[in-house]
């Protein structure tokens, strides 16, 4: 898989220097900025919401890839769109009518994503592939950074086949336990966007660029 994009998760950055961290990760060559929004209800953690994303927006022109781990997500789509999200991803289980929510995201001029938890079957994609611009396969159970990778290469391959069948340019994103050791596995299975928080940020800003490159090279 060529043209692999890296989406560092800001969940692992130094929040006391958020502006500086954004500028450093931007300069390091990240294609997307992955923003994990958690509500303490759908997942067992609370992070940040639309006001923080709005405050971050002026400090980078990179794509804001907003991952909503909230239930319900629908009432908050407009707020995240207005805050500066470029891609808004919802979880298949988090909304009673994901089809309608994906339609709404796209009606706002944003790209729409659907996220699949480790135990979520790929069959949930059957009737929404025409509405998604990104499919996110979670290789950890969502809620915390720094977890160990769950080997779901067969699932990633399945999603890649579904994407290829559409003939559309849809990102296949993988999130969870991504390191220089697991990245080649998910890339080989068909992923083209890798979310990595702990691995990218672990060594300090002087190493962000090298860590991003390591993920691309495997």
Q: Among all residues, which ones are annotated catalytic?
A: 36, 175
Q: Residue 81 — φ and ψ, nearest 5°?
A: -65, -45
Distance CA 129, CA 116 (A): 13
* 134 beta partners: 113, 171
Contact 202, 185 (CB under 8 A): no
Q: Residue 118 — φ and ψ, nearest 5°?
A: -50, -35
Q: Which residues contact 78 (CB under 8 A, 6 or more apart)?
A: 108
Contact 196, 218 (CB under 8 A): no
Distance CA 169, CA 152 (A): 22
The DSSP output letter for 73 is -
Place of tokens 């407009």: 78
């Amino acid at each position: 898989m060529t043209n692999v994009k890296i989406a560092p998760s800001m969940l692992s950055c130094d929040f006391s220097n958020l502006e500086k961290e954004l500028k450093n990760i931007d300069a390091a060559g990240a294609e997307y900025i992955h923003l994990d929004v958690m509500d303490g209800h759908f997942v067992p953690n609370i992070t940040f919401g639309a006001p923080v994303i709005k405050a971050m927006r002026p400090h980078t022109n990179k794509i804001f890839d907003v991952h909503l781990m909230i239930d319900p997500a629908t009432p908050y789509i407009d707020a995240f769109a207005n805050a500066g999200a470029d891609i808004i991803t919802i979880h298949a289980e988090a909304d009673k009518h994901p089809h309608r929510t994906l339609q709404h995201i796209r009606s706002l001029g944003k790209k729409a994503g659907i996220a699949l938890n480790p135990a979520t079957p790929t069959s949930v994609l059957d009737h929404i592939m025409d509405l998604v611009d990104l499919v996110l396969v979670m290789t950890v159970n969502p809620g915390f950074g720094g977890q160990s990778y769950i080997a779901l290469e067969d699932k990633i391959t399945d999603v890649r086949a579904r994407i290829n069948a559409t003939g559309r340019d849809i990102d296949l994103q993988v999130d969870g336990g991504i390191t220089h050791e697991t990245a080649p596995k998910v890339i080989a299975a068909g992923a083209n966007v890798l979310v990595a928080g702990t691995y990218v940020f672990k060594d300090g800003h002087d190493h962000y660029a090298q860590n991003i490159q390591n993920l691309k090279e495997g």
